[in-house]
Amino acid sequence: MFSTTTYQNRRNTLRENVPSGILLFMGNIENPINFEHNTYPFRQDSTFLYYFGLSVPSLVALIDVDENREIIFGNEATIDDLVWTGPQESISKKAERVGVREVRPMGELANYIKQAVTSDRTVHYLPAYQSANKLQLSELLQVNYNALTASAPFIRAVAAQRSIKEDQEIVEIERAVAVSTEMHLLAMRLAKQGMKESEVVSAVQAFAANKDCPLAYPPIITIHGQILHNQVRSNALKSGDMVLIDAGAETAMGYAGDLTRTFPVSAAFDSRQRAVYQIVLDALTAARAELRPGTSFKSVHLHAAKVLVEGLKGIGLMKGDTEEAVRAHAHTMFFQCGLGHLMGLDVHDMEDLGEQYVGYTDEEPKDTLTFGLKSLRLGKALEPGFVLTVEPGVYIIPELIDHCKANKQYLDFINYDELEKFRDFGGIRLEDNFLITPNGHQLLGPDLIKSIDDVENYRAQYV
């Protein structure tokens, strides 16, 4: 947990940016798996963590801007609870540490909100992503949950504040990236022909857990790297395959790391793998060089796309004019997603607040229709203090080839005959994490090996 003044200062800044009404912060609950009391590991809501720091289930906090009050609502443990969970520090005691002196039973929240609503005061709340919070908000505000309307001023204020990372947050993120780096090295040492993907997942997860880090997201560890969010883990690794690992740790405070590497199951890449790997690496290097305040991330994305197209032309998979190909979105045959996203207390930072608010501006809104761009979570101009991922990739998706071919798409830019020879290629992604600095950018965490030589030399020791 950060210092008491950290949380106080954050809340004070927020109040200045939303100068009237009540700001409501819905904490998360312990979510049931298959019955109420069998629950998933608890994860507090990130905005709640940012302003109130307490990783305790079933809390709601509010800042009453009009009346200058800060209250945390929650129920203290009873003697019965104690039998099941052991003695717990009281919520009041915990609240003190984040500078909140008023703690009240949850039962009093409804009345507080009701009085505010009857006095025509505005109750600001953020978009609810957990159904339990949709239910609770709907009940508190006496509004059908379909009619819940999050507060744009509140969202904008939170997004603006959380987007610019404090130095102490950077330290936490670097810690997350450092553990993530070790997870990747472990996987590179461990992965062997015949081993199952799930075994690598287990080892990586155990490693992080022993560093007191949960995983920031379900890890992707797969020989089918072309499936972007592959959660199948039942394949055995075999010689000739590549392993794509997209995995990151989360610190105890909730900050994420998010790294991807792709390496051969054999000691070395084959010639096709080597060629495509270098193209992806070139795109990452080129994109990284563009990272500086004022540059829009959409332009970095498109720049990376052009580098990919150039490379793919070089190995005969694409053809035609590079600029035109990217304008026609032909690169999305290979690179179907966005180049990266903000990262912080969420691996996709503040995705719950809405990508339009977090990653775009009113002047340049998100393209929600175009294949490829609609998956770009960040488009706007970069600012010092932004933390983000850069993660270009080349993914050969047989079903997408068939689909585009059947629809006669990109005929001027794709060499379908050559591409057919790559049907079984799989996918390669490389991903690093960066901080935008006043003059450019800074790689976060240790420099995890990435060049073909470094990866092959490392693997050669363990294969």
The whole-angstrom separation of Cα 419 and Cα 425 is 10
In the complex with its own copies, which residue's Cβ is closer, 216 or 284?
216
For the bound state, the minimum distance from the C-beta of residue 59 to its own copies, rounded and expressed in Å, comes to 15
CA-based R_g, the chain, Å: 24
Distance CA 457, CA 454 (A): 5
Distances (CA, A) of 443 to 99, 308, 356, 385: 34, 22, 26, 13
208 or 430: CB nearest its own copies: 208
Secondary structure of 401-414 in HEC code, one letter for each residue: HHHHHHCCCCCCCE
Distance in Å, CB of 150 to its own copies, minimum? 14
Cβ 129 to its own copies shortest distance, Å: 5
d(CA 437, CA 414): 38
Q: How far is the CB of 139 from its own copies (least distance, A)?
A: 8
Nearer to its own copies, 36 or 453 (CB): 36
What letter would DSSP give residue 392?
Answer: -
As given in the structure block, the two tokens for residue 304 are 């990376």
Taking the least distance from each CB to its own copies, the nearer of 269 and 335 is 335
Which spans of this chain sit near its own copies (rule: CB under 8 A)?
A: 28, 31-41, 43, 45-46, 79-80, 82-87, 129-132, 134-135, 139, 145-146, 196, 198-199, 201-203, 205-206, 209-210, 212, 217-218, 224, 226-232, 234, 336-337, 345-348, 350-352, 371, 395, 397, 399-400, 403
Cβ proximity to its own copies, 17 vs 131, nearer residue: 131
The number of helices, as runs of H, and strands, as runs of E, in the chain is: 16, 15
Query: Which residue in 124, 108, 117 sits closest to 23, CA to CA?
Result: 124
CA-CA distance, 434 to 302, in Å (whole number)?
18
Compute the least distance from the CB of residue 348 to its own copies, in Å. Answer: 6
Q: Shortest distance, CB of residue 422 to its own copies, whole angstroms?
A: 16
146 versus 461: smaller Cβ distance to its own copies: 146
Specify the residue, 384 or 398, whose C-beta has the smaller distance to its own copies.
Answer: 398
> What is the four-CA torsion angle of 78, 82, 88, 92, rounded to 10 degrees?
0
Tell me the closest approach of the beta carbon of residue 231 to its own copies, in angstroms. 7
Kindly state the tokens that stand for 385. 């203090």
